Amino acid sequence: MRLLCFAMIMLASMPAFSIIVPEREIRSYCLENKCSNQVFYTYFDSNKARFCHEKDVLKSDRDKAGMLSYISQRLKDKGLPENLAVVPLLESSMRLHVPSDKGTARGLWQFTSATAKDVGLVVDKHLDERTDLSRSTDAGAAYLSYLIKHFDGDRNLAVMAFNMGLGRLDKMIERHKTRNPWFLSRLISDSRPDKDYLLKFHSYALVLQNKGCST
């Protein structure tokens, strides 16, 4: 039954009778990062111009491009994939001091105060290390490492958990008896696929590797 539901969700996410055959560099990226399915190919094909433009805008911004480069290198130094640097890009648009819409999270990585303290950051009335590039990035790397280990190496689930919360994702996994990140992702954003975090993550990661934007 779960497989049937998954197939129906996948089909509902694609235009009728439309099969996308991606460029070789996109297929290569997706095979490595486990996004090789028609849901991602269709989404990226429809939004390619947008992501390629935003990549150019980001790289032309010296401050943001510098932070992205720094974060990528720190993640690499800690044995993590460099494309996980897309997480703070999605969370804060590479803005150090930005609060969340609800005001409960802050900084590049959008840690709540509770999670920040759990990963060793100081958050009090005198100091908030969530807005410190070096300290918050090390904390972000530590938390991503924890999430990847929690999900037995599945980086897609780790990325989702970083955004939506580990407890909430664990409950979804238990409720639906599956760890398929694409199935769970579509359940979360079925009514608003343009807001899908996992699709956005891989779209940005792809173009920031200078792939997918050739004409």
DSSP 128: B
DSSP 37: S
Q: Indicate the pTM of the whole model.
A: 0.87
Q: Kindly tell me if the per-residue pLDDT of 178 is higher than 90.
A: yes
Active site amino acids? 91
Residue type, 63: D
Task: Supply 208's token pair.
Answer: 């920031």
The topology (CATH level 3) of 23-208 is: Lysozyme (1.10.530)
Which alpha helices (DSSP H) does the chain contain, by range? 2-12, 24-33, 38-60, 62-77, 86-92, 113-118, 133-150, 155-164, 166-176, 181-189, 197-208
Q: Is 154 helix (H, G, I), strand (E, B) or coil?
A: coil
pLDDT digits (tens, 9 = 90+) for 186-196: 888 776 666 78
Phi, psi values for residue 112, rounded to 5°: -70, 165
pLDDT digits (tens, 9 = 90+) for 2-39: 544 555 555 455 444 478 888 899 999 999 999 978 88
